[in-house]
A and B are shown apart, each in its own frame.
Chain A
């Protein structure tokens, strides 16, 4: 075969291949195949020295033209492909919506619990477990709520068929922990509690509580105040004020209910705080020596404080949710807001 015919074959195949290529990658392969270091055209240039002298000028010219032709063709095809990409982007309309992935959301009650536990965690409180199904002893007796005592009146309780009950407050964890651990103790516990209350906008037969307590030598009421003030500032904001009001809980003495200044109206009075300027957020107090006696911790040596708060209520306050039922209906339009 004459050298020039070989070149014409290369030309034919190359043009077809480049024209048939369907993407930039294939184009790139063709470029390497023909114009690359070991490519067909490059080979031909090297082979020109073996061509008879008279044919050399013609062959040389042909190769140059071929090289040019292929180069141009490659460029044209590449442009073709690139412009196709442009049409995918609809003429660079960056205002088209982005392609979004779904983002999942954890439940607001879980978020609230985690945030609260984290704050106390930073102050050294360890999260512990405690059962929901309890005995009368843990839910009442050891918490200084004797049978037939008026203080029991406030604790309506669900019982299960084996005589045990669904705890009505997370304070049961105080007894569970203090039976097992020796002071110094500083723990926090989050979990469900149950009370036979009809469901409405602010009541539920099941809700979440967080209980925290600390027992050691030298723990005082001022420590309780310090820890809770620190919590309130971290959780509700630096400007929040706190108020401790005397109250009664059988398992603490002195006991205090804790209000924070309403962060909606700044204490001026609004619908959320029933125009009082204060929001009740938790119950607390110094652990009653009677409770220490039940768990065999000597109240003459050790003192401690305890506090408990309703997660649902704090969650509702924090996010401005006005109906507790929303928390348990789980409408995704609700869940996606948190």
Chain B
């Protein structure tokens, strides 16, 4: 809330400068977020937390400043004398409250022969500082009193009130009102209204009606000072889409003790600026002022919570400054809570008050003694594995991305994946963020596109993040950790090597290194089908018999839907199954004792024969003597028959029991050659 420093000073019975004020308020919990100079006045923007509606007024801020600075508070007589006062129900105006739950109290007062006109300069200036434009002297005074005391007031043109009476009731279905902002609002029984004998004349606690507003011709007025139920007001605000300085305060709760006094204060100021006379007694209908509550605090609790011994005298002193009337009985302090401190209910609330005014900075720091637990059931056990994946991928030159979990339905459609079991938002801000994503791939493609558009040509990216799937069985959304990888573009050349485009085998290599590190040999790769991936090169990763991820080249039409014209290769792996099989506890395997011997072999065979079937033949023939099989050349084209390919392998032979001699290796290598010829029709070259 905005606070004029000039106005605040009116309430301080002693000198204080703006810098000190700023520091006192900030360090006791009223943070000053900004400061402006308006017509020579320092206007502070103060963050008032929702537990402190009493600070939504100059008086409230002054009370805090007084407690922090020790400077006592100075109140106008009209307030001091009428604080805590409850008047008589019978007065100059007839008031009826039909819903006592929604309106606990209504004070009405009539003033006659006022002169409506422009406000004096001081009044207009103060309101201007508070960010409110001046309307006329009467309306301005009601606003002035609201800012000064926190009690919203409303002035009606008395002569326009049918029957010159007030009824506080629920609106009837179909009733409507034109509010002072000129908007016609249709009402229903959810909305509390102030009505005259015929119709609603104001929406209670939110806004007055146009028909009965103060105009230049107004002579006689009715001033309303009331208390409305916060929940009723909040619901009406939401329903009507209306809010005001008044509703803001009613929603948070106003001070019972100030309802009568505020009206008196307004009358005093109106007489001063617009003339007129209060006519008849004030009518004060509704419940009386609640008895002030008492709370006790055991002195030992202060040290137990704060970690510092504060003397009972110091504590009493703080409570006194807060008008809590402390009384010490043995090791307890009893306090009486003023009506405006609805936030003080328990001993912990009092401990906070002590801490605030003793000074957080005076509480010493210490490092606690930790008692480690053996285990926590909710410990994030997958953390180290996630970090391992990160290290491996970053080590291979991939950059990590982080994208939003909320996506559009359209994004998922573009990906071509299932629209079933989506977790969708009930109140999205836009269709761009209406679904909790079921896959990381659409954001990966978006990021690839973003970078391609900015001419970032070598893209090797990954993301470790959650996806969200509605579990039909439980009716709850599952959150599953996924890994996505996306590569695309051109690996630039240098003075030694030529540039080349990244392709499927670059991605496959990344996946293989990752899987070999995480699950060793417990995985295999097979062809599959996937709505986003090109046929024939869509690949599934199977770990211990369970499919846990896919990779391949993105279909051209899918890529184009993401505005990508290049070839892109993506992978998505669910980490849950991978976590179950992953083993980061490495066991040392003894280094080979005997040397290995390498033999090259070049074969010509049908193009349809896969590398893995060639591998299988070699492996079956030479069994445990084969330690590695590497493809070092693949050739198709001129000099080779159509439909054939030439492959060159280096095979490494080694025995774990002895040194193989030339003859043994030659024999086994010959057997391998024969098997390739016989079983795969390979020609040895």
Contacts and interface: CB of A to CB of B under 8 A. Distances in A.
A148 B29 contact: no
B103 interface: no
Nearest to A124: B370
B192 to A, nearest CB: 15
Nearest to B378: A128
Interface in A148-170: 148-151, 153-154, 158-162, 164, 166
B450 A329 contact: yes
Contacts of B346: 289
A328 B377 contact: no
B399 A257 contact: no
Contacts of B447: 329-330
A286 interface: yes
Contacts of B643: none
Contacts of B52: 248
A97 B365 contact: no
A194 interface: yes
B372 interface: yes
Contacts of A327: 402
Given A104-B396, A222-B306, A330-B401, A289 B27 contact: no
B252 interface: yes
A131 B626 CA distance: 49
Contact of A128 (B31, B51, B380, B436): B380
Given A153-B251, A194-B405, A253-B349, 16 more contacts: A132-B466, A150-B51, A150-B53, A150-B252, A159-B425, A160-B477, A177-B378, A180-B377, A216-B371, A220-B306, A222-B365, A254-B352, A256-B360, A330-B403, A333-B454, A335-B400
Contacts of B351: 253-254
B666 interface: no
A331 B401 CA distance: 9
Interface of B: 26-29, 31, 49-53, 230-231, 234, 251-253, 303-308, 346, 348-349, 351-352, 355-356, 360-361, 363-368, 370-373, 376-380, 383, 387, 390, 393-406, 423-429, 433, 436, 447, 450-451, 454, 456, 458-461, 466, 468, 470, 475-477, 479, 494-497
B397 A103 contact: yes
B440 to A, nearest CB: 12
A99 B397 CA distance: 14
Contacts of B371: 184, 216
A268 interface: no
Contacts of A102: 396-397, 458, 460
Interface stretch (A7-15, A25-33, A67-75, A226-234): A226-234
Contacts of A219: 368
A176 interface: yes
Given A133-B468, A222-B364, A253 B397 contact: no
Interface stretch (A39-47, A51-59, A76-84, A185-193): A185-193
B404 A328 contact: yes
A230 B367 CA distance: 8
Contacts of B376: 126, 128, 177, 181, 185, 187
A260 to B, nearest CB: 14
Given A127-B383, A160-B477, A226-B366, A106 B53 contact: no
A101 B398 CA distance: 11
Contacts of B365: 222, 225-226, 229
A336 B399 contact: yes
15 contacts: A104-B395, A104-B398, A106-B390, A110-B390, A158-B428, A164-B477, A223-B367, A227-B368, A243-B361, A247-B29, A253-B348, A256-B360, A289-B348, A330-B403, A332-B459
B305 A303 contact: yes
Interface string A122-140: 0110111111110000000
Contacts of A328: 402-404
Interface in A252-283: 253-257
Interface residues of A, number: 89
B653 to A, nearest CB: 21
Closest 9 CB pairs of A and B: A102-B397, A220-B307, A222-B307, A246-B29, A248-B49, A104-B394, A124-B370, A223-B368, A254-B352
B306 A221 contact: yes
B49 to A, nearest CB: 3
A296 interface: no
A221 B363 contact: yes
A205 B393 contact: no
A236 interface: no
Interface string A85-119: 00000000000110111111111011000100000
- Of the candidates A97, A107, A219, the one having the most CB atoms from chain B within 10 angstroms of its own CB is A107
A229 B361 CA distance: 12
B305 A220 contact: yes
Nearest to A222: B307
A9 B403 CA distance: 76
A248 B447 CA distance: 39
Contact of B378 (A103, A153, A176, A220): A176
A176 B356 CA distance: 30
Contacts of A332: 399, 451, 456, 459, 461
Given A196-B429, A223-B366, A254-B352, A333 B372 contact: no
A128 B28 CA distance: 34
B652 to A, nearest CB: 19
Contacts of B26: 245
Contact of B368 (A128, A148, A226): A226
B307 A245 contact: no
A159 B427 contact: yes
A104 B399 contact: yes
A66 interface: no
A198 interface: yes
